[in-house]
Amino acid sequence: MEECCSSKPKHNHDNHEHHHDTEEKSTFQMFFPALISFILLFIGIILDNYITMNWFSDWARIAWYLIAYLPVGIPVLKEAYESILHGDVFSEFFLMGIATVGAFAIGQYPEGVAVMLFYSIGEVFQGMAVTRAKSNIKLLLDQRPDEVTILKEGKPQTVNAKTVSIGEIIQLKSGEKLGLDGELISENASFNTAALTGESKPDTKTQGDVVLAGMINLNKVSQVRVTAAYKDSKLSKILELIQDATAQKAPTELFIRKFAKIYTPIVVFLAIGITFVPYFFISDYQFKDWLYRALVFLVISCPCALVISIPLGYFGGIGAGSRNGILFKGSNFLDILANVQNVVMDKTGTMTEGVFNVQEVDFKPDFDKNEILNLINVLESKSSHPVATAIHNYVGEIDHEVELDNVEEFAGQGLKAVVKGKELLVGNFKLLDRFSIDYDIRPENIVYTVIAIAYDHKFVGYLTIADTIKSDSQLAIKKLHDLQVKTTMLSGDKTSVVEYVAETLGVENAYGDLLPEDKVNKLKEIKAKNQSVAFIGDGVNDAPVIALSDVGIAMGGLGSDATIETADVVIQDDKPSKIPMAINIGKQTKKIVWQNILLAFVIKAVVLILGAGGLATMWEAVFADVGVALLAILNAMRIQRMKFY
């Protein structure tokens, strides 16, 4: 929550000093000034109405209530003064100040103390609510250790994590948190990845696997080779993302901030009008009575409930997402997801594991199978595509003695190179068509992904490769349909494979054999119907589609730096079921925000009218201001305890 109130240049909860104070003080310390004021106010009301004491009159009575006022009044009057120095005259502190000082001026001492007392209690609750909303981020910050143990000439040495260089070896004891990203060089190890994924289930890693800062070693002593500097670790990027998230405001939040800037001065001038205008129209005009009505009007009109609870609601939504391994880059994306009508998804690595395995090798007998596989392996080593990994796993070590010339990649089709003066093509059948290679099979009849090969302008044959559907993909599609969201799958993979996966999952529309520009055109067709679209992909290859969509969601937040940078929402554990969860968080956040808006407007409108007509006292004003603010804060805090499964 960047600002709790648009009229709070000093007293906002991003102010480091104030927020630090809120977190460091105990609950008793925070409530102590209010407790002193409450006790004195309570005794004063008893002496005023139930027990007569001769000394409790005139200046002694004024002094008593003034002492009751000071513990809660001085901090607010100080904030009002500092706001004025910063050019913000019409702050809520100014409203509270003139309302309570005015109450003292006309002899309404108990009301003056009560207004400031309950306002201060509201401020404490507000601070507590913000602290709780930020607890998930604080937990993440605590996940990044400042020191790590590295091995220097075989001996452990504790050093500052920021000074560790790439390539150094970290020794990680059981229960320790990893301070930097790296590669596991021990045979195997189990890690708690909750800081990064929201999942507390242990994740077993084997030698060569990537391990990330924030992961906790669960069993034996392990060794990790550092692969990224401290500032470049995934956790550092995620923390930066979360801390910057509230800079992107939702339209509702921006409107309320602008509204408060215009609204507050208007009510101040209306209060002045309520005080003096009746003099010209009413024969028995009493200045004291109309001033009291104006003060009541001022207290009621304070926009605390709106400017506190609405940003808090959005911040709570971002926090709830973070707790579940979903990172929103701003509250505006919560609003967009709440209203999204279409979810368009990539297939490989999004709804499937993205881990391919070679199923079949079908080559013409005229060619040496091992020789061709060796050439394919060398060529595919130039690509980072999952298909290349599958081929490498199948064939084995790369023969570095093979020399490739004129290596060229064709987007959405495959690779071409020249080997010993002969042209080698590895890709789909569109690539073979492009180079006029004749083949005698029908690719559409093969369900699996097919990698076609041509060598020396002749068709060699093909490999079939299969991917595995993620365990929760089907559940994700069902939940999206339960939320009345339409689903579409776009993929560069062959149409038969895409249609098979889509049918298995229950996706409504599926299109295969698409180049990046084809995906863009398909997305434009959906948007042409004036429907909002969320696109889920890897954030790199699908960058044009993500840019075109209303909100881009990246699967594989732990896999690619570019994913974190380009997407609007990052799902850290790659689980498709988090897609409907993200939408549900957006819907619940928006619901709570609008509940607070309606609650504040309706109650304030009623009591404002009663106050202007002299039918509401300071006590009703206190409820309309602080009471509604407290109700709104409590309502906004609900989202942090909700379940979104």
Which residues carry out catalysis? Answer: 346
The SS3 assignment for 110 reads helix
Name the DSSP class of 401: T
Question: What is the Cα–Cα distance from 231 to 209, expressed in whole angstroms?
Answer: 21
Question: What is the Cα–Cα distance from 71 to 117, expressed in whole angstroms?
Answer: 9
Question: What is the Cα–Cα distance from 375 to 460, expressed in whole angstroms?
Answer: 12
Check: CB of residue 608 under 8 Å from CB of residue 300.
yes
Judged on CB neighbours under 10 Å (0-12, 13-18, 19+), 138 is exposed
Instruction: Tell me how crowded residue 558 is: count the other CB atoms within 10 A of its CB.
Output: 21
State both tokens at 80.
Answer: 């009002």
In the numeric block, the tokens 């990330």 are attached to 212
Say which amino acid occupies 253: E
In the numeric block, the tokens 């392990």 are attached to 222
CB neighbour list of residue 138: distance below 8 Å, 6 or more residues apart: none
* DSSP β-bridge partners for residue 148: 159
Question: How many alpha carbons fall within 13 Å on the CB side of residue 416?
Answer: 19
State both tokens at 500.
Answer: 């098979």
Instruction: Tell me how crowded residue 262 is: count the other CB atoms within 10 A of its CB.
Output: 10
Instruction: Tell me how crowded residue 549 is: count the other CB atoms within 10 A of its CB.
Output: 25
Q: How would you classify the pairing of strands 422-427 and 533-537?
A: unpaired
CB neighbour list of residue 151: distance below 8 Å, 6 or more residues apart: 157, 168, 169, 170, 171, 223
